[in-house]
Amino acid sequence: MSEIGVFEFKGKRYEFPVEIGTENEIAIEIKRLRGDTGGIITLDPGFKNTGSCKSEITFLNGEKGILRHRGYAIEDLAKKASFLEVAYLIIFGELPTQEQFAKFEADIKKNTLVNEEIKDILDGFPRAAHPMGVLSSLTSALTAFNPEYTDVHSEEEMYDAITKILGKFPVLAAWAHSKNEGAPLNYADNSLDYIENILMMMYKVPTTAYKGNPIVKKAMEQLLILHQDHEQNCSTSTVRLVGSSHASLFASISAGVSALWGPLHGGANQAVIEMLEEIIKGGGDVEKYIAKAKDKNDPFRLMGFGHRVYKNFDPRALLIKESADAVLADLGIADPTLEVAKHLEEVALNDPYFKERKLFPNVDFYSGIIYRALGIPVEMFTVMFAIGRLPGWIAQWKEMRMNNEPIGRPRQLYIGKTKRDYKTMSER
Ligand code: ACO
């Protein structure tokens, strides 16, 4: 017998089907709630209890600290696979064969040039513009330069749009960085792999031959794999919502970049480093910042702590912490922020405020320390996150379109003024 959810209101009983996921998650399906009850809706600010879709891409159990893509553990993928291999898995559902991988990589490489006129748009930005704003705008501009991909009707057209954005997005990201630095713009070198290309485009200068560092490349690849997908987070939900109106992939991803930018989401990696630097500047008084974070009259939050879904530990944070130690040792860097971060973590994890609320370090707590060790400037941290998250956004957008999901349009509970008569300005 299938399960049902029951809802009673004013003596009437309503029954709703219950759906059970492959990992035994349970959802009450309330599609008919409003119709059957004559207008009752659910109210769930921040969507803390609301599933917006069914998805086959990522399984996350926040209580147990589990993260799997298409059934594969994040720990295995981060340690054993390449960035594009994981991207293929997330987007298309299976790990690629050698042949499938070679075609996928070659198709992306065919798309590593962007229209030269994009440079005119870039020129229009002030040099100090935040690269996330620049990246969001340039990604949206891809729609204007590739109008044939604004509406895709077949899987083939979708594939072309996907390989296009995977090819061009890192170029736009690198150019956003070069603009900040006042440095010449680099083009991709298709003899390099995806990650090497990103680093090369960010750092190559015309006067010197570029020589990559394998330690930096390996660490960057692992970090970006860890960011690839995280089911229905703020930016991914944004991508799906924008795409649900059949806006183009490029426009949807541009909206995702904007959502990721905020300090409560991807922008936290920049905010963490700024917070750690402030603590060091103020003499390293970790306890003072813990007290500020606990003070309900102070808006300060411990950046890099807490997560909407993880209430035990963030498995990505564990891997990143391990990696931060290794990368700093490999590169021979002694970074005081790592020591402060570890101290802060230790104090917070033993403090009842953080324990009771199940607040643990999240993916952003240690990632900034690695980015900095790898030579990435602080304003680019969230851009690196966006490059990492791109395959996840694509996969989620594709799944939403392939499932013919309806346009996203939440309801609301109106709590404003009831009907009143207009008064002319002289009467007010
Ligand atoms: N510092 C201090 N207190 C915190 C923190 C924090 N970082 N995070 C949550 N709390 C407290 C809240 O004040 C609240 O306390 P209360 O119950 O006494 O009112 C309680 O913990 C629950 O917090 P919520 O805000 O309800 O949790 P929510 O799931 O809405 O927010 C979020 C999650 C936004 C990540 C939050 O923990 C936060 O702001 N963290 C800092 C920013 C950050 O690191 N963001 C990156 C997240 S990972 C990512 O997006 C890639």
- Coil, strand or helix at 10: coil
For every residue of 371-416, DSSP letters joined together read: HHHTT--GGGHHHHHHHHHHHHHHHHHHHHHHTTPPPP-------S
Evaluate whether 223 touches 367 at the Cβ level (below 8 Å). yes
Residue 230 Cβ inside 6 Å of ligand 1? The answer reads no
> Which pLDDT belongs to residue 2?
66
Distance CA 237, CA 303 (A): 22
Is 307 catalytic? The answer is yes
Residue 363 Cβ inside 6 Å of ligand 1? The answer reads yes
> Which pLDDT belongs to residue 151?
82
| Ligand 1 centre distance from Cα of residue 45 (Å) | 15
Distance CA 65, CA 345 (A): 17
Tokens of 89: 């898995």
pTM of the model as a whole: 0.92
Is 285 catalytic? The answer is no
Torsion angle of the four alpha carbons 266, 268, 273, 276, in this order, in degrees rounded to the nearest 10: -160
Evaluate whether 306 touches 349 at the Cβ level (below 8 Å). no
Parts of the chain with a pLDDT under 70: 1-2
> Which pLDDT belongs to residue 297?
96
Instruction: Summarize pLDDT for 379-417 with one digit per residue, the tens.
Output: 999 999 999 999 999 999 999 999 999 999 999 999 999
Q: Which residue has the tokens 């690849």?
A: 221
Enumerate residues 6+ apart whose C-beta is below 8 A from 371: 223, 269, 378, 380, 381, 384
Instruction: Summarize pLDDT for 242-259 with one digit per residue, the tens.
Output: 999 999 999 999 999 999
List the 72-73 sheet strands across, edge first.
58-61, 66-69, 72-73
Strand pairing category for 26-28 and 12-20 = antiparallel
Evaluate whether 111 touches 145 at the Cβ level (below 8 Å). no
For every residue of 279-324, DSSP letters joined together read: HHHTTS-HHHHHHHHH-TTS----TTB--SS-SS--HHHHHHHHHH
Evaluate whether 55 touches 71 at the Cβ level (below 8 Å). no
> Which pLDDT belongs to residue 1?
46
Distance CA 211, CA 100 (A): 29
**Most informative mutation of 60, 286, 294, 301 for ligand 1 (most atoms within 8 A of CB):** 301
Evaluate whether 354 touches 305 at the Cβ level (below 8 Å). yes
| Ligand 1 centre distance from Cα of residue 21 (Å) | 27
